[in-house]
Structures are given as C-alpha cells and as structure tokens.
Structure 1
Amino acid sequence: MTTLLISEIFPPRHGGSGRWFWEIYRRLPRADFLIAAGEDPQQESYDRAHDLRIVRMPLTLQQWGIASLCGLQGYTRAILRLRRLAAEHHVTAIHSGRCLPEGIMALALRHSVGIPYACYVHGEDVNTATLSREHHWLARRVLGGAHLVIANSRNTERILRQEWGLPVDRVRVLHPGVDTDRFVPAPRDAAVRARLGWGDRPVILTVGRLQQRKGHDRMIEAVGKVRRTIPDVLYSVVGGGEERDRLGELTACAGLAGHVQFLGELADEDLIRCYQQCDMFTLPNRQVGKDIEGFGMVLLEAQACGKPVIAGNSGGTAETMKIPETGWVVAADDPAELAESIINILSDRGRMARMGLAARAWVSGQFSWDELAPRAGSIFREMVRCRSQDTCFHEHEVDV
C-alpha cells in the first residue's frame, strides 16, 4: 500500500510546512510513501542528496478558485498528473499538504477514483479562506470530504471545531517539531559573530518570512525603545518576503539603520549559527485580519539552540514554549510591552542562561522529530484501519 503526500511547498523551497513534511516523512518507511512535490530551481541537486521517493511536478496555481477558466485549467492539469501518478504507484491513500489548493486535488481524486485522504491544516490557511466566499466554499468541501484532518496545534484544532464545525473525532493534533541533533547549543564564537557583523553586541534574532503578521514592523519600533536602555542592541532579521522594502524604509525613517540588520534567506547551516550565536529570539507575531501564526516552528528551533524566546499572543505560538520558564508571550502589537519584555531578559544574564537551559530541555523532551514521527505513523495507520473497517468515515458538511 502506498500513501501519496501532495505538497506544493517542500524543500528546497523555504516554508515551515515543507520542513515539517520533510522531517516527518524521511523518518517513515520509504516503501510506504510517495511525495508529489512542487518544483524549485534547486530541486535536482537537493533530490540527489536523499533517498525519499519524490516526483516533482508543477503544483503552483495562479488562482486557487475554480470559478475562473485559469483556476479550473490549473486544477485540471494537476489532477490529471496526480491521477496518472496514483495509478502507476497503486496509491491507496492521500495526504494533502494544505486545505487549498492541494485539498481540492485530493477531493477530486477521492470522487474520481475512490482514494481517501487526510488533510493537514495550519491555522492561517482556514482562517484566510473565509475572506473569499469561493475559497470558503471550497475549503468546506475539502474538510467535509477528508477521512481525517491533521491540525498543527491545539489552537488550530479549536478553530476547526468552533468555527468550522468539525466533530472532535475527525481531528488529530500533530505538532511540528525540530531536529534536536542539528539545532543544538554552541559556545559563543567571536569569529562567527564577526562574520555575521554582530561583534560583541547583544543580538535579538527573528527568523521567518517578511510578512505583516510576523510583526517585524512592531519589533523595529520596539528596538527604538530598547536602545535607550541597551544602546548597542542589534536586531537581526533572517528571511525574505513582500514586506522587505517597507521594513527597510521604516528602519531608515526611525534612524535605526545601525541597529537593524536584514540577512535575507540563509542556508540551514548559516541559519543554525545565527540561532546559536544570538542572545535571544523573538517572533513578534500578531493577527492581521484573519491571518494568524498557526504554530511557529522557529520558536522550537531557537529553544533547541538554548535561547529564551518571546512571541506574540495570537495563534498557536504559546504551545511552543513552557511559559515562563523558556519563553514569554506578549501583546506584540504594542511595541512598548515588547520592548519591556526584551529589556527584562537581555539585562539579566543569569535569567537568560536559566531560560536557555530550560528551553533546550523542554524542546528535546516534547518536540524532537524522533518523538513526533511515531505519533505521525500512528495517525496514518489509524486512517488505514478506518478505511478497511469502514467505521470511521462519513461525508460531513462543515458549518459555514
């Protein structure tokens, strides 16, 4: 029996969900899983370095709806490719990487050839789907047709139950995790810090796509307040995205060019060095409209490297930490509160060290991929048992 994962986002393409899938499926039996992954310019060199069963195909759609000819044609081409792939490899179950657009492909295959599917939900995806009547309608069909829905956090599970009406027995929670063998603490290294342009300055790190909900703008405002107490503070930002120009302008207008650094997207080894050499980590996320932070894998990565963390109080970020021992949750849309929390941690080296030690222990015990992969395997086997016994599934019309 072969299970097919469909995911547009998969390494080497950057994205938390893609890393999640990579880490889980590479720890499961190769013969049982096939991955239909989106294309990336670096895919050939990347795929030569592993032994996962991957078929690359164009899964990026210009439009996620089906009302337009462009959207309908995009889905049709993808579904036909996937249908041929499923037949060739005798696929008996599908895992959809997101509700949209991959979920529509999975739903179409269930209706056309009878293959059941599970659907991953990340929180922000179902929230933002409600902003479009068509996307909302499509997401309802996908969730209603899934054997199981896999939520990335308790907060996402709550959204699915309370706002989409999914019964509790159809939802399973599977947290993302971190590779605790790669993301490890390291001694302070003057040479690495010099190459990064940090020197001996206290460094606050944020890693993530430059988009509004991540809160980089509020953090830049907070840095202006932090430097009154810690004059040589540096805020280092890893990641790229649509907010880059605006954030650069905000930094310049605030006179903070010497206190804010944009490193862009980094290779994993350089990213790990940033986690290891920074003093603390922030993900100042906030809700923007319906857009939320579903979980926050970067918070796990920072804690695995022995760093205290601060996150915004929206979405599922609180589930990544042991509050207040390893990190704090604040109202990150308030730069003053954010700045006060940062000052309280950076100004107390003893507290920083204690939080860092607790963070490493917390993540190693709760979020190691080696601990989470068996949980994933158990959920996947449950889906197979449900299908064979025909006792767990019926089409469910989720609420509007």
Structure 2
Amino acid sequence: MKVALTKGTLLVPPTYFALAHAGAMPEREWRVFTLAARVSDPSVTLPIHEAAPGALSPALPLRVASQARGLGAMRRAVSSWGPDVIHQHQATWSLPAVGAARETGVPLVVTLHGGDAYPRLGRGLGAAWNARNRRAAFEGATRLLAVSRYLADVALRAGADPARLSVHYQGVDTKWWTPSPGLSPGARPDLVPEGDHDLAAEGADSPEVPIALFVGALSRLKGVDDLVRASSSLVERRPHRLVLVGDGPLAPSLRASAPAHVTLTGPLARERVREWMRRARILALPTKPTQGRQEAAGLVLLEAQACGVPVVAYRTGGTPEMTAPGASLLTGERTPDALARAIDEALAWSDEERADRAAACRAWVDAERSLRGSVDQLRAVYDELTGSSLRGCRAASDE
C-alpha cells in the first residue's frame, strides 16, 4: 500500500507527529509531499517531495508567490505518484490533497490538529484562507480524524459530518520516551548522566533542588507568562528551578527579565528534551484559552508522563484527555495563584508518592496513549478505506 503524507510545510524538529506513524508502519510505502520542508534531524529518512521550497522564505512576497505556484505543483506530484491513500495533516493547506484525491479517486484522510478545526477565527486573508481550506477538507475527506474528543466536538460545531469523523489520539513512542535507563519511573539519579556536560553547566546536577520543566512555544497561549509568575511567587518558600525549553514571542522579554531561578534553554533536539524530562520533578503546561482557541491535545504531556514525569496543567480543551487520571494535577481555575498552589502541592510530594504517581503516569500512557495503539487504529482506518475503495471500483466495473 502506498500512502502519500501531505502537509503545507514540514519542519522537523519540531513537527515529528506528521511522520511518527509512517516510521512505525514500515510495511507501507510512504512519501511525503509538502510545499516546503526544513528537516535537520538525520534520523528522518522518508522521501520528501517539495513543490515550492521558497514557501519558507522570510521574504513575504517570495513566500506568497511560491505558495501560490506550489499548490498546483503539489497536487500534480501527489496524483502522479499514484497513492492508495492520501493522508493530509491539518486542514489548512489541504487544497492540494483534496484535489489529488478527487483526480485519482483514492481515499483522503485528514487529521485535524487544532486551529484548523474551528469555525473562522479572526478576520483578514489568513482567516479566510483557513476557512476555505477547512471547508474543502470537511467536504472532500473520506475520513476526518481529530486528535482529541474536545477537538472533534469543535469540528462538529464547525460543520464536520459526524458519520465521517472519529477521534484518533496521536500517541507517543513509549519505547523512546522512557525514564532514565535502569531506573524505575519516579526514581531520581544523583548525578547528571556521564558526559552530559551541557546539563551540568545549566545546573541540572543539583538534585536537592527540584526542577519544574516547561517544553513548548514561549507564548501566552501556552501560559508561560502565568507559569513564570506562579513559580516566582512560590520559589522562596518552595525552592525549585524553572526550566523553559523552546522559543516563541515571549522569549526576548523573558530573557531580559526572568528571575535567577529561571533557565531558558532555547529550542533543543529531542534527545536533549528527553534528558531534561528525565531530570524534572514535574512538567508544567498551563495552556489557556486564547482568541477563541484552546489546547487541542498536547503531545508533550504524553512524552513527559511516558518518562515518568507527572504533569501540572490547566484544565483546558483536550488537556484532560492527555493526563493520567489521579496521577497528574489539573486545575480548573486558570490563574497564576491556582497554578502556584498546584505546583506547590506537586513539589511537596514525598519521594514515595512522587514515584507512585510517576509509575501510574507511565503505565497510563503505555496503555492508553501509546504510538503502538495509535498505529494499530490508523492501520485499521487505511485498510478499511482501501478495501471499500477497491470494492467500489469492482462494483463500478461490473456495471
């Protein structure tokens, strides 16, 4: 079976989710089609076809012109390859995939990831473009997949056909996202792993000071401003370090004004993120509603819990679907004060309680949100759709 993975642009890192299922299904033949790609991880070996490399240009006129020219070229490239299934990630920029599915008559799967599922957000050309692509995806998809029950409900309110919509949790690789080798979930090594001088230089070799970790975009949507305020109000009576991994619009102001206990690492490779997770006492991700949107899922929540790290988060959007019941902490009051209380509670856990919660987080992700289970579900979707497609072709030829 040939599967065409399609996406507007592909940046790896951080966009591993679009490729994860392909890597776990080697019995299929895969090819990625995109307007433009920037892949710096050498472990990514899937063939990638770029229809318009200029679509990632920092110069707006060149970027827009490349995008406009690339839409048709991408559609033609997908059709020419002759896939058995087309799988589009994100309804935005879905027009080439929709057109190729119409031309070839093969099934089209569209995975909704967040803002692409909402009714029109905001005004202007960007909002209009997103709305146009969303309508095309909703009408043209053989199957719509939402990454959470919350997002599926958003899509239904935006006009998605319930008969063609289902929830497909993306899942994480629990064989890769693990606690430190040789340690049970929740156990804490006394020293930085041998040779890990970067972590030592950043202060991770101080196990007596627990680490609260954040991984993601440094933005108000992700609640980083609330997190820094909450941590700062707490640090004198509950000593800890706050480590912020990532980049985003709040990065310049945070670098200029962050308190001494806050470390900004910038963007890191997945291996470095995993090392920080293995050192952390908790992961905090206080994503909050912003401009009509809420967190759709949050794979970093699953990655941390798979590493045996309990999560502290706001109860927002699909976040509750990504946290181990009774083991991680969610607060319905989305304020810095409420967040500080939740972090305080988590940092006060005894080593035994923290280890129990860590083991429960790990077990829940492995049983309920693993990449293994997600792949099995997606494989069944592909097989069902291609079987239906073949039966339809045979029926048409018999008439």
TM (normalized to structure 2)? Answer: 0.84
In 1, the alpha carbon distance for the partners of 2:129 and 2:78 equals 28
Amino acid at match of 1:147: T
In 1, the alpha carbon distance for the partners of 2:305 and 2:373 equals 17
Tell me whether 1:90 sits opposite 2:82 in the alignment.
yes
Which ranges of structure 2 fall in alignment gaps of 5 or more residues?
A: 181-187, 194-198, 394-399
Would the alpha carbon gap of residues 30 and 14 (structure 1) be closer, same or farther in structure 2, given more than 3 Å must change?
same
Amino acid at match of 1:179: D
Which of 95, 99, 102 is 2:91 aligned to?
A: 99
Contact 1:39 1:59 in 2 (8 A): yes
Contact 1:96 1:118 in 2 (8 A): yes
Deviation at 1:50, TM superposition (A): 5.2
Would the alpha carbon gap of residues 236 and 71 (structure 1) be closer, same or farther in structure 2, given more than 3 Å must change?
same
Query: Any residues of structure 2 matched to 1:251-270 within 5 Å, and which?
Result: 251=258, 256=259, 258-270=260-272
Worse overlay, 377-386 or 34-43: 34-43
In 1, the alpha carbon distance for the partners of 2:262 and 2:314 equals 20
Query: Any residues of structure 2 matched to 1:85-234 within 5 Å, and which?
Result: 85-87=78-80, 89-101=81-93, 103-127=94-118, 129-131=120-122, 132-161=127-156, 163-186=157-180, 187-192=188-193, 194-198=200-204, 199=206, 200-230=208-238, 232-234=239-241
SS for the counterpart of 1:370 is helix
1:208-230 Cα shifts (integer Å, max 9, x gaps) = 12222110000001012211421
Aligned-pair Cα RMSD in Å? 2.7
SS for the counterpart of 1:21 is helix
In 2, the alpha carbon distance for the partners of 1:14 and 1:275 equals 16
In 1, the alpha carbon distance for the partners of 2:331 and 2:13 equals 31
Alignment correspondent of 2:6: 6
In 1, the alpha carbon distance for the partners of 2:314 and 2:368 equals 21
In 1, the alpha carbon distance for the partners of 2:304 and 2:353 equals 16
Which ranges of structure 1 fall in alignment gaps of 5 or more residues?
A: 392-400
Contact 1:229 1:343 in 2 (8 A): no
In 2, the alpha carbon distance for the partners of 1:202 and 1:234 equals 6
Contact 1:189 1:277 in 2 (8 A): no
Would the alpha carbon gap of residues 335 and 178 (structure 1) be closer, same or farther in structure 2, given more than 3 Å must change?
same
Deviation at 1:126, TM superposition (A): 2.4
Contact 2:219 2:225 in 1 (8 A): no
Contact 2:148 2:168 in 1 (8 A): yes
Contact 1:128 1:290 in 2 (8 A): no
Query: Any residues of structure 2 matched to 1:1-400 within 5 Å, and which?
Result: 1-10=1-10, 12-15=12-15, 19-37=16-34, 39-40=36-37, 42-43=39-40, 46=42, 49=43, 51-58=45-52, 61=55, 74-87=67-80, 89-101=81-93, 103-127=94-118, 129-131=120-122, 132-161=127-156, 163-186=157-180, 187-192=188-193, 194-198=200-204, 199=206, 200-230=208-238, 232-251=239-258, 256=259, 258-323=260-325, 325-331=326-332, 333-349=334-350, 350-390=352-392
Contact 1:62 1:71 in 2 (8 A): no
Contact 1:216 1:247 in 2 (8 A): no
Alignment correspondent of 2:184: none
Amino acid at match of 1:97: H
Deviation at 1:8, TM superposition (A): 4.1
Amino acid at match of 2:346: I
Amino acid at match of 1:165: G
Residue identity (%):
23
Worse overlay, 131-140 or 168-177: 131-140
Alignment correspondent of 2:396: none
SS for the counterpart of 1:91 is coil
1:26-76 Cα shifts (integer Å, max 9, x gaps) = 111354322224645554x72xx455343344367479xxxx998576244
Amino acid at match of 1:247: L
TM (normalized to structure 1)? Answer: 0.84
Deviation at 1:155, TM superposition (A): 0.7
SS for the counterpart of 1:14 is coil
How many residue pairs are counted as aligned between the two chains?
A: 371
